[in-house]
Amino acid sequence: MKQAGMDQISLRLDRNRGYGIVIGHGITPCFGEWVKKVGGVGESGAGEKVGIVTHPRVMRLHGSEVIGSLKKAGFSPVLFFLPEGEQNKTLRAIDSLYDRLIKRRFERSSFLIAMGGGVIGDITGFAAATFLRGIRYIQYPTTVVAQVDAAIGGKTGVDHPKGKNLIGAFHQPLGVFIDSSVLRTLPKREFVAGLAEVVKYGVILDPKLFEFMEKNAKKILSGDEAAVLNCIKRSVADKAAVVEADEQESGLRKILNYGHTLGHAIETLTGYRQYKHGEAVSIGMMMAAQIANAVGIAKVDIVKRQQGLLQALGLPIRCPKLDPSAIINVMGLDKKVARGNIHFVLPERIGVVRVMGVQNRLLQGWVENFCSN
């Protein structure tokens, strides 16, 4: 199964729920055989009902290779199309998927393949977590955000009009298959936005990755195969290590929310249309670094180094003009709130962060400062 140029990172979890994350460039021809293996499917592959959940655009770009590989392994996948965009990551999408799964007679033994970005991954995972009280699914992520973050770790869910990802479940996939060559068709803006999540791993726990990005920003932006693969592999290993240590986010996993407290508020208040997720996270990381500096836990160098890297990658660093009270209100609805204090992940230095509750009174001033330029 493992071919040259294909690496595997294992994510170890209790109760036999661990899985492999395979990573390589141009490895999709092996996808079907790999699905057969992780799905525990017999030699023919024909007996199992497999559904691919995707957007029409992703199907047009990468469907024939994925389906070809699955068919060669004996599968006859059923296709389920969903509309694009964060604004469609809703219970309505889940409902329409349930209808179609019932119509196509999907069973407990059937499984789904999420082929797309984080939106497809989160929706498919949540449908898989809940349909028939839980069926299996596989992640075939096709954006940077999904390859380095969303597809790994079993967080699934949808948005509510009152806030992002408010409805969801933990449901681990059977495995994750990452072919970095699919990123070649990603619009530049999507590609760049995804790099914000890679910067995030650098700041929260991987100074080597941060330095690598500083030194290779141009190469990464040009889509250099080796540089991009290195970013993906390190990010996946970082994420897997955090999830292994704290699957249900009772402690360490919270650090993955670096930049997300403000980021989610910006996405919510701009109707999920104006900013890509990674762009909002980039702005959120800038505010978090400035708060860290203001409370005296990070030197100004940290703020500057992070700003330098984000700008070198072409990521936004300034907050849009939004009402500070509305921002605080939305941040207060987020899951990162405990006993009335909004919790922020704040950097101490590159590679070390801490989670801190920040009093509303202080926050008001910082948000006003940061978001009314």
Considering the rule CB under 6 A, would residue 58 count as an interface residue with ligand NAD? yes
Considering the rule CB under 6 A, would residue 330 count as an interface residue with ligand NAD? no
Is 100 annotated as catalytic?
no
- How far apart CA 256 and CA 254 sit, in angstroms, is 5
Determine the residue type at 349: R
Task: Give min distance, CB of 314 to ligand NAD, in A.
Answer: 16
Considering the rule CB under 6 A, would residue 163 count as an interface residue with ligand NAD? no
Q: What is the DSSP string of 111-169?
A: EEEEEESHHHHHHHHHHHHHGGG--EEEEEE-SHHIIIIITSS-EEEEEETTEEEEEEE
Catalytic member of 48, 197, 267, 279: 197
Three-state secondary structure call for residue 338: strand
Is 253 annotated as catalytic?
yes
Q: What is the DSSP string of 71-103?
A: HHTT--PEEEE---SGGG-SHHHHHHHHHHHHH
Considering the rule CB under 6 A, would residue 333 count as an interface residue with ligand NAD? no
Is 200 annotated as catalytic?
no
Residue 337 host element (H or E): strand 337-338
| Sign of the alpha-carbon torsion through 40, 132, 11, 15 | negative
Pick between residue 124 and residue 230 the one whose CB is nearest to ligand NAD: 124
- How far apart CA 154 and CA 133 sit, in angstroms, is 16
Is 155 annotated as catalytic?
yes
Considering the rule CB under 6 A, would residue 116 count as an interface residue with ligand NAD? yes
**Region from 40-48, 65-73, 81-89, 203-211 binding ligand NAD, contact rule CB under 6 A:** 81-89
Considering the rule CB under 6 A, would residue 257 count as an interface residue with ligand NAD? no
Catalytic member of 25, 49, 233, 253: 253
- How far apart CA 300 and CA 98 sit, in angstroms, is 50
Among 36, 155, 200, 253, binds ligand NAD (CB under 6 A): 155
Confirm if 323 and 309 have CB atoms less than 8 A apart.
no
Q: How many CB atoms lie within 10 A of CB 325?
A: 11
Is 348 annotated as catalytic?
no
Pick between residue 119 and residue 199 the one whose CB is nearest to ligand NAD: 119
Considering the rule CB under 6 A, would residue 139 count as an interface residue with ligand NAD? no
**Region from 13-21, 40-48, 127-135, 143-151 binding ligand NAD, contact rule CB under 6 A:** 143-151
- Rounded to 5 degrees, φ, ψ at 230 are -60, -45
Considering the rule CB under 6 A, would residue 49 count as an interface residue with ligand NAD? no
Catalytic member of 15, 133, 321, 339: 133
**Would you name the residues annotated as active-site residues?**
133, 155, 197, 239, 249, 253, 257, 260, 264, 277
Report the interface residues with ligand NAD, using CB under 6 A.
55, 57-58, 61, 84, 86, 89, 116-120, 122, 142-143, 145-146, 149-150, 153, 155, 165, 182, 185-186, 190, 277
